[in-house]
Structure 1
Amino acid sequence: MEFTCAAQPGTGADDEADLVVTGSHFALVLGGAEEGCRHLGRWRTRALGGRLADELVRRPDAPLTALLDAALAGVREFHHRQLCLGGAPGAPSSVAVVRERDGLLDLLVRGGAAALVQFPDVTVNAVLAPADGGAPGGPAPEAAVGSLPVKDLSRVCLLGGGAHRMAEPYEAYWPYLFDRFATDGPGAVLTATPYRGAAAALGTPRP
């Protein structure tokens, strides 16, 4: 898939900045950070984003839940080696991942993020995680996962927690949201968010 993306911290909240990472066959959006040690939410989000992207590149066929758990474990191990005694690092409060694999699109969503899938008839289905916050520094909370053939969809949009809260009240207009993202780019849409951090990625199948 081809991805366009944007992220912004929100007014006065750069330590809560959301993060978007894309690769040749994946995109991920991380948002916020649960309370944990003294490290800023920005550090924890970037640390997990880098490790999760590495897992997606090195293990392209592994289940997304296994990759997320491995990335979280890697962040905790690194954190422990730094001798931070202020508690376990809090995990980002929202995670959304899509990965293209053998003609399929794999999705994972946890926390307050969302994955919106648009089909050729313009209908939009939302993939949302169960309401389970999990414990700071613990295993990844329950996530929604699924797969569908790439040929059956027209576009997919990942929304971090802030972007999802901005879009959620306008569910009936989600097809219009896809058009705005495609025409103006995610950044133009996210500038209107009042929340502490917002990130989004739009994926379109390659011709």
Structure 2
Amino acid sequence: MRISYETAAAPGRPRNEDYVVAGPTWVAVLDGATAPAGVDSGCKHDVPWLVEQLGAALARQLATRSGESLPDLVAAAIRATMAAHVDTCDLTNPDSPSSTVAVLRQCGDLVDYLVLCDSPIALRRADGTLTVVDDDRTDHLPGGRPYSLDLVRRCRNRAGGFWVAAAAPEAAYEALSGSVEASTVSGALLLTDGVTRLMEWYGHAWEQLVDTAATDGPGELIRWVRREEQGGAGPSFAKRHDDATAAWISW
């Protein structure tokens, strides 16, 4: 199993709110949710702190509890992150820092995957077809975009809304997760939404992204999205640039 990845902050942003951790048989990609300007999150920490804590906790779980399910490991990582600041921060605040989670792991003859919120995984099958695991619940909140802050508060980590890694370990069990036979997979691509805008905004296909990662490496996807962003196209409510992360796994 070979893992390569690249992550980059949005141009002009001093810190990256994406995060990647990897081991010999696993990789996890996280995308922290940028806090709206002027909103009190109830937390003295920023989003990079959250993704670093959550990533480190998840890496420990993946490294030491290889026989347990990915939802159990993600839930444990959320609990450990909560414990790191429960005494200093209000974890009941609906605007507390949060993150997506995407995990891929080989465990014996199986490849396990988990996607929590909008950091998808594409599995390239041995026959050349793709299986895309995409938790798109944030695209289907009531009323359509742009979403109000109040709507996001009411829908976050609620049935009928969307689930994300914040201060609710049960969110891990709402993730899209499963396993496939390792012999049926030749590659996998994990992305944050700073890269998936290549498809969502600019009309490119998953197959193109997977082929590019396999041939030129995941860093080329970030360079590609930056070139597209220079054209200025995209939804009026969205940031022109975002942190971008891509991880490519091959067997």
TM-score bracket, normalised by the shorter chain, equals 0.7 to 0.9
Asked if the contact 1:96–1:107 (Cα under 8 Å) also holds between the matched residues in 2, the reply is: yes
After superposing the two structures, state which structure 1 stretch, 175-184 or 108-117, moved more.
175-184
Distance 1:85 1:26, change over 3 A: same
2:188 to 132, 145, 156: 156
Task: Output the amino acid matched with 2:9.
Answer: P
Where structure 1 has 5 or more consecutive residues not aligned to the other structure, the ranges are none
Where structure 2 has 5 or more consecutive residues not aligned to the other structure, the ranges are 36-40, 138-161, 230-240
**What CA distance in whole angstroms lies between the structure 1 residues aligned with 2:214 and 2:165?**
37
Offset, 1:84: 3.6
**What CA distance in whole angstroms lies between the structure 2 residues aligned with 1:31 and 1:129?**
14
Aligned positions, number:
203
Residue 247 of structure 2 is matched in structure 1 by 201
**1:6-50: CA deviations, max 9, x gaps?**
111112334452111110010000002365423111110111000
Distance 1:169 1:148, change over 3 A: farther
- 1:180 paired with 2:226, answer no
Instruction: Report the secondary structure of 2:73's partner residue.
Output: helix
Task: Output the amino acid matched with 1:105.
Answer: V
| Structure with more contact order per residue of length (Cα contacts < 8 Å, sep ≥ 6) | 1
- 1:90 paired with 2:76, answer no
Asked if the contact 1:110–1:130 (Cα under 8 Å) also holds between the matched residues in 2, the reply is: no
**What CA distance in whole angstroms lies between the structure 2 residues aligned with 1:146 and 1:135?**
18
Offset, 1:202: 0.5
Distance 1:135 1:187, change over 3 A: closer
* Identity between Structure 1 and Structure 2 (%): 30
Instruction: Report the secondary structure of 1:154's partner residue.
Output: strand
Offset, 1:163: 1.8
Instruction: Report the secondary structure of 1:129's partner residue.
Output: coil
CA-atom RMSD in angstroms = 2.3
TM value normalised by structure 2: 0.73
Superposition pairs of residues 92-171 of structure 1, within 5 angstroms = 92=99, 94-129=100-135, 131=137, 132-133=162-163, 136-141=166-171, 142-168=174-200
Distance 1:177 1:48, change over 3 A: same
Task: Output the amino acid matched with 2:13.
Answer: A
TM value normalised by structure 1: 0.87
Instruction: Report the secondary structure of 1:90's partner residue.
Output: coil
Residue 32 of structure 1 is matched in structure 2 by 32
**What CA distance in whole angstroms lies between the structure 2 residues aligned with 1:65 and 1:95?**
11
After superposing the two structures, state which structure 1 stretch, 30-39 or 107-116, moved more.
30-39
Distance 1:72 1:14, change over 3 A: farther
Asked if the contact 1:159–1:199 (Cα under 8 Å) also holds between the matched residues in 2, the reply is: yes
Decide which structure has the larger Cα Rg and report it.
Answer: 2
Task: Output the amino acid matched with 1:174.
Answer: W
Offset, 1:134: 5.0
Instruction: Report the secondary structure of 1:12's partner residue.
Output: coil
Instruction: Report the secondary structure of 2:206's partner residue.
Output: helix
